Amino acid sequence: MNDFFYNSDISHQQAERLVSETLNKSDDGELFLESTNSESILLDDGKIKNSSFDTSLGFGFRSVNEDKTAFCHSNIISKKSLEDAAQNLRSNIKPNVKNNKQDTPKRTNVKLYEDKDPIVSKSFEEKVELLKKIDNYIRQKNSSIKQVTASFFGEHQTVEIIKSGSQIYKDQRPLVRFNVGVMMEKKGKKETGSYGTGGRQDYKYFLDNDNWKGICDEAIRQAEVNLDSKPAPAGEMKVVLGPGWPGIILHEAVGHGLEGDFNRKKTSAFHNLVGQKVANENITVVDDGTIASRRGSLTIDDEGTPTSRNVLIENGILKNFMQDRMNAKLMNVKPTGNGRRESFEYTPMPRMTNTFMINGNDTQSEMIKKVDKGIYAVSFGGGQVDITNGKFVFSCTEAYEINNGKIGAPLKGVTLIGNGPDILTKVSMVGNDMKLDPGIGTCGKGGQWVPVGVGQPSILVDKITVGGTNI
């Protein structure tokens, strides 16, 4: 574990004392210390196109009183920078005269990943050698492949959170990702396919036991499917959403609306619906930051609170929201371990971890048989959502037509258009094949980006607007 004050002119004990003195009359706050190393290596057509290594070090110092926040950050950890930040906080936050200090987080967390730095788990030369091996493997699989890209991303983040009273919370967070993309051409038609995986582990997961071959094969398969695709129909119809990554719709169209800040401010469509039915009774939605090694998991959040399994919607009834410490206090509920920030340069806010729908009792084949004319959506690319009303638009990267209860030809240009709260009421069947995504999710909110996970079983939506190119 890093000693953030090893090369500083202020000792750890002096920093602790400064934090306690600064936050003595605040409801809450912390000194958030962070050191992060990250690397990326991109191979394009057999050559290393880009390689980078970055390191960052700094602190974020925050004071909270009621709904007011004062915050300073610096990439220099020194006596002067910390004292200047402390003075700024004291001058910008009115002291709390109600003695309403928030309790410090409980130490009930269980480690969810190893402390190892994934960047040093394999040498740079070994990573480059594998990327070139991947390029050769893919080109030998199909003579129609014209372009191959493959990339590694690795990160090791060390955080220390110092709260008033010398309460200290520490975590070391590994993160890796592996992506493959291919472009194929057949009879003048060009299409692409891509696939990736990742999580809080080291590179050995990809480099050992040829695990990377399955990722390559999936990217090739997607490109082959897209080469055979035809223009998508348009209009209102039944849609079967496959398991796993299609849970991104749940994340965007529903999950953001269940974050505490939007509901405290009453800007979410769900803000006044706790205890009410908001979905089909077969639907239960969970945010769970405690799944070992998953991309969205954290041993502690960025305020020191242990993450948890938080049931948001249970059998169609809205139960809870995801909370950081400030919004939980203002809403008179407990923090759920969802206080997250991109880095020391930002303040925490309520964010998702791994958000998914749990299993139902139906099978996907039963759902397909229920559809006379509709769409089977397997994977998604980009999307947009309006938090205030839940309206969304998502584009499919892999989808098929359904005719008379059978899956037909692949489709190109499928977009799904709907409303998150409304779509939950139109789900008539929930599958028993729940999957989490392969570990590729990244979520944006308020200008901050954090790694997340999504997932769901197959579901049948009885009516949703499909935007296509064949009208």
pLDDT in tens, 128-174: 999 999 999 999 998 899 999 999 999 999 999 999 999 999 999 99
Q: Are 30 and 163 in contact (CB under 8 A)?
A: yes
Weakest mean pLDDT among 66-75, 94-103, 215-224, 460-469: 94-103
- What DSSP string describes 257-287? GGBHHHHHTT-STTTT-TTSB-S-TT--EEE
Residue 237 backbone class (left: φ over 0; alpha: ψ -120 to 50; beta: rest)? beta
Q: What's the pLDDT at 31?
A: 98
Contact 347, 69 (CB under 8 A): yes
Stated pTM of the model? 0.95
- Reported as a pLDDT band with limits 50, 70 and 90, residue 36 is very high
CA distance 77 to 86: 13
Q: How far apart are the first and last CA of the chain?
A: 59
Across 17-25, average pLDDT: 94
What is the distance of C-alpha 371 from the center of its chain?
Answer: 32
Calculate the alpha carbon distances from 71 to 64, 93, 346, 357, 412 in Å: 9, 10, 8, 36, 47
The span from the CA of 301 to the CA of 91, in Å, is: 28
For residue 366, the Cα-to-chain-centroid distance in whole angstroms is 31
Mean pLDDT computed over 191-214: 88
In this prediction, residue 470 carries a pLDDT of: 60
Residue 114: is its pLDDT beyond 70? yes
Q: What was the pLDDT predicted at 219?
A: 96
Closest CA to 464 of 433, 436, 425: 425
**pLDDT digits over 380-426, tens only?**
887 777 777 778 898 999 999 999 999 999 999 999 998 888 888 99
Render pLDDT for 413-422 as a digit per residue (tens, 0 to 9): 999 998 888 8
Q: Which amino acid is at 52?
A: S
pLDDT at 127 over 80: yes
pLDDT in tens, 334-364: 999 999 999 999 999 999 999 999 999 999 9
- Angle of helix 12-22 relative to helix 79-92, nearest 10 degrees? 10
Which residues make beta-bridge pairs with 155?
A: 38, 175
Furthest-apart CA atoms within the chain: distance in Å: 75
Query: SS3 breakdown of the chain: % helix, strand, coil, rounded to 5?
Result: 20, 40, 35
Mean pLDDT over residues 225-233, rounded? 93
